Structures are given as C-alpha cells and as structure tokens.
Amino acid sequence: MNISDKFTLSLASTAVSGSGKKESWRDTSNQKSLADEYDYVMFGKVYKYDETGGKNKATVYVSFGGLLLMITGEPVDVLVGQEIYLLMRKNT
C-alpha cells in the first residue's frame, strides 16, 4: 500500500458465520467467512479497555501476538481477555 491509498479496517469478535462452538482461532471448514472478504486478517486478544477519556470515548488495547493496537472511539461492549479479529482490505 502507498500512503495515499484508502483502506477499510474492521474489528470483529468472530470471523466465522453462525454461532457454533469455536474449536480454533480459524475456521478449517469450507464455509465462507468474514475473512474471505478481506486481504489481511489478524487474531488477537483485548488486554485493556479504558473509558476515562470522556463520556463518549473509549480506548481499546489489543495484542496481536506482540503487535499492539490502541484504538479510540465510541464505547462498545468489549471485555478484557476477549478474542478479536482485525480485518483489512485496500479500497479500489
């Protein structure tokens, strides 16, 4: 990607359709998943959630195996220890 390129970044609690029991971090069946719609997918864990930045601001901290993400926005239902997917694709 180049600096001027536009991209879509999504955070999701699952990349698998349906609500079946998750056996691993990735779906090994032949079912379509949310990950099929993106170019880059990372799996991580929320290690901190902070709502002290203002009444309509929350910061979520996620570790993707040592690659850390801090993202601030509107408060959402996120729990420390929750597994999370980061999905990215370049907009065309």
Residue spans per domain, the chain: 7-90
| CB distance 27 to 18 below 8 Å | no
- For every one of its 92 residues, what pLDDT tens digit does the chain have, with 9 covering 90 and above? 889 999 999 999 887 765 555 555 565 667 778 888 999 999 999 999 998 877 789 999 999 999 999 999 998 889 999 999 999 999 98
- 3-state DSSP assignment of residue 34: helix
Give the separation between CA 68 and CA 47, rounded to whole angstroms: 10
pTM summary value: 0.77
Domain 7-90 is in which class?
Answer: mainly beta
